[in-house]
Amino acid sequence: MRFVDEARITVRSGHGGNGCVSFRREAHVPKGGPNGGDGGKGGDVVFRASSKLLTLYDFRLKRLYEAKNGQPGMGSQCCGRNAEDLIIEVPVGTMLFEADEEGGERLVADLAVDGQEVAVCKGGRGGFGNEHFKTSTMRTPRFAQPGGEGEEKSLRLELKILADAGLLGLPNAGKSTFISAISAARPKIAPYPFTTLTPNLGVLIDDIGEHFVVADIPGLIEGAHEGQGLGHRFLKHVERTRFLVHILSAEDIDVENPWAGFDLLNEELARYAEELAARHQVQVINKIDLIDEDALAELRRRAKADGRSIFFISALGGVGVEALVKEMWRLYHGGDPR
């Protein structure tokens, strides 16, 4: 199924059922009086977060969601049936936006917890039957109350992935290879940039069954904060990660300024949202199997001299991966950033 992280839909709650105008009619009971029942309530439109869903793809196929109307009241004081609420399940991390009066948008709900629910449109109330309007001076009311109207809203759905760790890096840094090496995720892998066009999720599980989620964010480039490359479309997925694993390919390192790749993306993060630049990062140099031993030794020396704690790995060959995963588990359990 194709990954979709934005959609626009219209939702409508149900109308309330009309109250009934009815009079008791039985043999030997003259002037039995009004006995019209109330109408039923219309169904609400309720959004529910579900961890079983990962994309908003279905909302590109269906754009209108309508709850059912309440049933009208009947004679003999029989009330109409209330309509069931319309439950719309969305992935955990879905945000609901509605247009405001000033031409912008307001946040209606942020469904960040599995099972969290919010009623976006309330169903119309059921109308009173004529038995409610009987008084000492009005013994035969020949009217009933109509059911209340439902609500209609146009919403924009936006999904921000919820993950414990986010993999960040320039295109072709080897993030997809790394996530496939540490989890069961199988993203597309090829020796050219932008092979990953949608975020991929991997799950790490330890010996006692505890797990945490890693998100492979598609490669970013200079100008991403302005929408260049994949731009804002995927920068937003970094916002909800607890920490970042910033991967740089050894092939892309300039010996004169070896950490330029890290600095470039960190600047993009800061321009997009300063709190992202301040989030803890584990810096990684991947593909060390593609450079000679002297160049690798020089990079290690420069990192130590510059006070940088950098993990040197080959995701393809498995070199250094175990130590990096151990550090990720340590941070997941609340270890102090190094």
Asked if residue 177 and residue 154 are part of one domain, the reply reads: no
Are β-strands 281-286 and 86-91 bridged in parallel, bridged antiparallel, or unpaired?
Answer: unpaired
Report the C-alpha gap between 156 and 158 in whole angstroms: 7
At which of 113, 136, 159 does a domain end? 159
Asked if residue 317 and residue 193 are part of one domain, the reply reads: yes
- Residue 55 gets which letter from DSSP? -
In this structure, are residues 250 and 292 in contact, taking their beta carbons and an 8 Å threshold?
no
169 in a domain, yes or no?
Answer: yes
pLDDT at 190 exceeding the cut of 90: no
116 in a domain, yes or no?
Answer: yes
Tokens 């970013």 sit on residue: 220
What is the pLDDT at residue 49?
A: 93
At which of 159, 176, 199 does a domain end? 159
192 in a domain, yes or no?
Answer: yes
Asked if residue 219 and residue 107 are part of one domain, the reply reads: no
Asked if residue 171 and residue 150 are part of one domain, the reply reads: no
Tokens 């879905």 sit on residue: 94
Vertex 152: Cα angle to 2 and 113 (nearest 5): 50
pLDDT at 135 exceeding the cut of 60: yes
Asked if residue 171 and residue 155 are part of one domain, the reply reads: no
Max alpha carbon distance in the chain (Å)?
Answer: 110
pLDDT at 306 exceeding the cut of 80: yes
Asked if residue 93 and residue 208 are part of one domain, the reply reads: no
Highest mean pLDDT among 77-86, 168-177, 192-201: 77-86
| Residues annotated in a binding site for GTP | 169-176, 194-198, 216-219, 286-289, 314-316
Q: Any idea what the CATH number is for the domain that residue 14 is in?
A: 2.70.210.12
Mean pLDDT for 30-49 is 90
What is the pLDDT at residue 191?
A: 44
What is the pLDDT at residue 124?
A: 95
pLDDT tens profile 80-129: 999 999 999 998 889 999 987 777 889 999 998 889 999 999 999 999 99
Asked if residue 206 and residue 154 are part of one domain, the reply reads: no
Residue 181 or residue 273, greater confidence: 181
pLDDT at 332 exceeding the cut of 90: no
Q: How many CB atoms lie within 10 A of CB 147?
A: 29
Asked if residue 294 and residue 262 are part of one domain, the reply reads: yes
Structure tokens at 266: 């960190």
pTM: predicted TM-score of the whole model, two decimal places = 0.66
| Contact residues for 101 (Cβ-Cβ < 8 A; gap 6+) | none
| Residues annotated in a binding site for Mg(2+) | 176, 196
Report the C-alpha gap between 67 and 252 in whole angstroms: 55
Beta strands in the chain (DSSP E): 6-12, 45-50, 64-66, 86-91, 94-99, 105-111, 117-121, 152-159, 165-169, 200-205, 211-216, 243-249, 281-286, 310-312
Q: Any idea what the CATH number is for the domain that residue 242 is in?
A: 3.40.50.300
Distances in whole angstroms, Cα of residue 241 to Cα of each of 15, 213, 332, 336: 41, 9, 11, 16
Mean pLDDT for 269-280 is 78
Mean pLDDT for 267-278 is 78
What is the torsional sign of CA 82, 84, 86, 92? Answer: positive
Asked if residue 257 and residue 220 are part of one domain, the reply reads: yes
What is the pLDDT at residue 237?
A: 64
Residue 314 or residue 275, greater confidence: 314
What is the pLDDT at residue 219?
A: 52
325 in a domain, yes or no?
Answer: yes
| Contact residues for 35 (Cβ-Cβ < 8 A; gap 6+) | 22, 23, 24, 75, 76, 77, 129, 131
337 in a domain, yes or no?
Answer: no
pLDDT at 223 exceeding the cut of 50: no
**Predicted confidence band of residue 195 (pLDDT cuts 50, 70, 90):** very low
pLDDT at 164 exceeding the cut of 60: yes
Number of domains in the chain: 2
338 in a domain, yes or no?
Answer: no
Asked if residue 228 and residue 122 are part of one domain, the reply reads: no
Closest CA to 114 of 97, 91, 96: 91
At 299, give phi and psi (nearest 5°): -65, -40
Asked if residue 239 and residue 116 are part of one domain, the reply reads: no
At which of 130, 159, 188 does a domain end? 159
| Residues annotated in a binding site | 169-176, 194-198, 216-219, 286-289, 314-316
What is the pLDDT at residue 242?
A: 83
pLDDT at 53 exceeding the cut of 80: yes
Asked if residue 58 and residue 137 are part of one domain, the reply reads: yes
Mean pLDDT computed over every residue of the chain: 82
Range of the domain at 87: 6-159
pLDDT at 153 exceeding the cut of 70: yes
